[in-house]
Amino acid sequence: MVSKDMDQDIEKVVFTADQLQKKIAELGAQITADYKDAEEDIFCVGILKGAVLFYTDLVRQIKLPVNFDFMIASSYGNGTSTSGTVKILKDLDYDIEGKHLIVIEDIIDSGTTMHYLKRYFQERKPKTVRICSLLSKPSRRTVDVDIDYCGFEVPDEFLVGYGLDYAEKYRNLPYIGVLKPEVYAD
Ligand code: IMP
Ligand code: MG
Global pTM value: 0.94
Span from the CA of 135 to the centroid of ligand 1 (angstroms): 9
pLDDT at site 83: 54
pLDDT at site 79: 52
pLDDT at site 184: 84
Residues in Cβ contact with 5 at an 8 Å cutoff, skipping those fewer than 6 apart: none
pLDDT at site 78: 47
Residue 180 has pLDDT above 80, yes or no: yes
Span from the CA of 107 to the centroid of ligand 1 (angstroms): 6
Span from the CA of 105 to the centroid of ligand 1 (angstroms): 9
CB 114 within 8 A of CB 108: yes
pLDDT band at 170 (very low <50, low <70, confident <90, very high): very high
Task: Establish whether residue 112 lines the binding site of ligand 1, counting it when its CB lies within 6 angstroms of any ligand atom.
Answer: yes
Min mean pLDDT across 3-7, 13-17, 103-107 is at 3-7
Residues in Cβ contact with 139 at an 8 Å cutoff, skipping those fewer than 6 apart: 155, 156
Task: Establish whether residue 109 lines the binding site of ligand 1, counting it when its CB lies within 6 angstroms of any ligand atom.
Answer: yes
Q: Which neighbouring-strand residues pair with 186?
A: none
Nearest CA to 104 among 35, 46, 186?
46
Return phi, psi of residue 128, to 5°.
Answer: -140, 155
Which tens digit of pLDDT belongs to each residue from 160-169? 999 999 999 9
Name the closest-CA residue to atom 21, ligand 1. Answer: 164
Q: What is the mean pLDDT of the chain?
A: 93
Which tens digit of pLDDT belongs to each residue from 37-91? 999 999 999 999 999 999 999 999 999 999 999 999 987 554 555 556 788 999 9
Min mean pLDDT across 5-9, 52-56, 77-81, 101-105 is at 77-81
> ω into residue 49 within 30 of 0, thus cis?
yes
Task: Establish whether residue 136 lines the binding site of ligand 1, counting it when its CB lies within 6 angstroms of any ligand atom.
Answer: no
3-state secondary structure of 132: strand
